[in-house]
Amino acid sequence: MLIKRKRGWEIAEAKATPESVFFGRRAVLGGAVAAAGVAATVAATRPAEAGWFFSSPKVPLQKLAAMPAPLDKTYKPGRALTPEKAATTYNNFYEFSDYKNCWPLAQKLPTSPWNIAVDGMVEKPFTIGLEDLIKKAGLEERLYRHRCVEAWAMTVPWTGFPLAKLVALAKPAAGAKYIGFTSLEDRKVMPGLDVAFYPWPYTEGLTLAEATNDLAFLVVGMYGHVVPPQDGAAVRLAVPWKYGFKSAKSIVRVTFTDTQPKTFWQTLQSSEYGFWANVNPAVPHPRWSQARERLLGTGETVPTMIYNGYGEYVAPLYADMIKAGVKPTVLFR
């Protein structure tokens, strides 16, 4: 790193992680210079480091339906929940910064009102306000494991509703096969957008079959209250059997198509990040092993599970592809 910075509360975790993993995705860009540019932007805009950890994030609370919502007990997390502070102060949100401690920057995100445009191959394109959508869909709580491609992981109580409910509202046309997701791109509040080599806006995609699997969840809350900006307010995805980058944050557009949508990480580096990105401990990232993962909060490392442990629900989605001989590096990277 060209820029020396104090990581304070991050240090223990940084020590527990090889730098190649911790800084892995930045390194691929060969971007010492670029990274320095980001660091300079962050340094210029972030509050003084002293007191970060102990000052309140001042999350603007929306008047959403009551949380915590009833817990859906179908999906067992199988391990302790990550302490809230650990999960909400160690983030990937490149629109703000490629540093994990970008949460103070994200407090500028305007989260209310929040609208989602639904377009492409649907009966009739529309825009819906989030509060309206929540009224129609209802809310429930789910305890999900989350596995970042960088080999850190967490276990989070999310509040939201199945993505399938939005798909049903959208009434996709007969030929629609995929859904593309677009994240907010707001240069006034997101300094990371100035880093021009990233293919902004952040985009992701799922097949319609994946999107209507009951596990695919649209998140508006976390730990029993409104999801904080740094975790993808006002609405984000949780697709727990895939690497974390598939779970787009701060979604403003949902587009139904008959062709596989272009995604942010695949566009940036397709040899390392694919469209499918299903978790598999046996298929390494080109630059590191995926066999184990480090839990936020405790720093403990545990074995990674295929489909992040959700195989009983999602493996059938890929059975035909596997039978047809699709390469593991296509399905699991």
Q: Which of 42, 148, 166, 227 binds Mo ion (CB under 5 A)?
A: 148
Give the DSSP letter of residue 186.
Answer: -
Going by C-beta distance under 8 Å and a sequence separation of 6 or more, which residues neighbour residue 284?
Answer: 290, 291
Contact status: 92 vs ligand MTE (CB under 6 A): yes
Contact status: 250 vs ligand MTE (CB under 6 A): yes
Residue 276 interacts with which of ligand MTE, Mo ion, none, CB < 5 to 8 Å by class: none
Residue 280 interacts with which of Mo ion, ligand MTE, none, CB < 5 to 8 Å by class: none
From the CB of 103, what's the least distance to ligand MTE, in Å? 9
Q: Which of 17, 62, 89, 91 binds ligand MTE (CB under 6 A)?
A: 91
Q: Which of 59, 128, 148, 218 binds ligand MTE (CB under 6 A)?
A: 148
Q: Which of 94, 245, 273, 332 binds Mo ion (CB under 5 A)?
A: 245
Residue with tokens 């429930």: 140
Which residues between 178 and 217 bind ligand MTE (CB under 6 A)?
183, 202
Q: Could you tell me whether strands 152-162 and 217-222 are parallel, antiparallel, or unpaired per DSSP bridges?
A: antiparallel
User: Packing angle between helix 163-170 and helix 130-137, nearest 10 degrees?
Assistant: 100
Residue 250 interacts with which of ligand MTE, Mo ion, none, CB < 5 to 8 Å by class: ligand MTE
Contact status: 256 vs Mo ion (CB under 5 A): no
User: Residue 146: CA atoms inside 13 Å, Cβ hemisphere, count?
Assistant: 26
User: Residue 157: CA atoms inside 13 Å, Cβ hemisphere, count?
Assistant: 19
Q: Which of 17, 38, 95, 310 binds ligand MTE (CB under 6 A)?
A: 95
- Three-state DSSP at 122 gives strand
The residue count for the chain: 333
Closest CA to 91 of 76, 64, 109: 109
Tokens coding 31: 């971007």
Interface characters, 70-99, with Mo ion (x: CB under 5 A): ----------------------x-------
Farthest-apart Cα atoms in the chain, separation? 56
Distance of CA 274 to the CA centre of its chain: 15
Applying CB under 6 A, the residues found at the interface with ligand MTE are: 91-95, 148, 183, 202, 231-232, 244-245, 247-250
The contact set with Mo ion (CB under 5 A) reads 92, 148, 244-245
